[in-house]
Amino acid sequence: MTVIWIDGAWHDETTATISVFDHGLLYGDGVFEGMRAYGGRVFRMDQHLDRFYDSARAIWLDIPMPKAELAAVTLEAVKRAGLDDAYLRHIVTRGRGDLGLDPRKCARPTLLLIVDKIRLWPEETYQKGLRVVTAGTPMPHREALSPRVKSLNYLSHILAKVEAIQASADEAIMLDPAGYVTEGSGQNLFIVKHGIVRTPPAWAGILKGVTRDAVIELARGAGLTVLEEPLNRYDIYTADEAFFTGTASEIAPIREVDGRMVGAGRMGAVTGDLRQRFRQLVRG
């Protein structure tokens, strides 16, 4: 079942509420984190919580609970939900304020946690591979707001997703203002060429994903060379394989980008092997 925790109290969908004056709602002033639980175990919770607290600190926001206590609440929420495969969303906002921007008017942050299910695409789509288009909406400039901050304002990513929907595609690839490939609307991106795995580096303006790090570890553990270097659309068009990674999407193969077939137009051997290794990692 869906479990929601807000500022120390447990709720369901019918009782969970926040103020209309909360600056997370009014201005997107807050940060979030997504996690997965498999068989009641939260995958890499410490890394996710570290990023959650770092994101908050980067926007001058103090999470009103020590990390160890929030970890305990997280485990309790997963237990209460009773879901074998669960998705967790941690959110902290600036809190209730007034209609002005001044964060000092918000007396206390709002901290909440949601435990529910998530499924981005059916298994058939994973087996066939995703149809992807390049979004015209670019990533915000990395010096405007660091992409390492998982802020509540995801409007540019939503607009990229809208472009994918309008093109009858499964997902979109976003570019930076210079035209280099960054990520999907909510995923990191990898390609495989001649057996070498490549992905944009963190400094290129991407979110440094926890699943991304796990996949890099798995690939290197399998004896593959992994390079973190800038990519452009030519690299994607001419790749032997391509795939997305993310907490919600896990490892999702890409079969087509901008009408061009990627490799053989189906899940490649490297992608399939990494997908199997990832499943073994998260499910023990």
Q: Catalogue the active-site residues.
A: 150
Helical packing angle, 67-81 and 45-58, nearest 10°: 130
Cα 154 off chain centre by = 11
CB 31 within 8 A of CB 52: yes
Contacts of 81 (CB under 8 A, 6+ apart): 1, 2, 3, 115, 116
The size of the chain, in residues, is 284
Alpha carbons 242 and 124: distance in angstroms, whole number = 17
Place of tokens 């509420």: 17
Cα 185 off chain centre by = 9
CB 191 within 8 A of CB 198: yes
- Dump strand ranges (E) for the chain: 3-6, 9-11, 30-38, 41-42, 85-93, 110-116, 130-134, 171-175, 181-184, 188-193, 196-199, 226-228, 241-246, 250-257, 260-261
Alpha carbons 22 and 27: distance in angstroms, whole number = 9
CB 61 within 8 A of CB 92: yes
Alpha carbons 12 and 10: distance in angstroms, whole number = 7
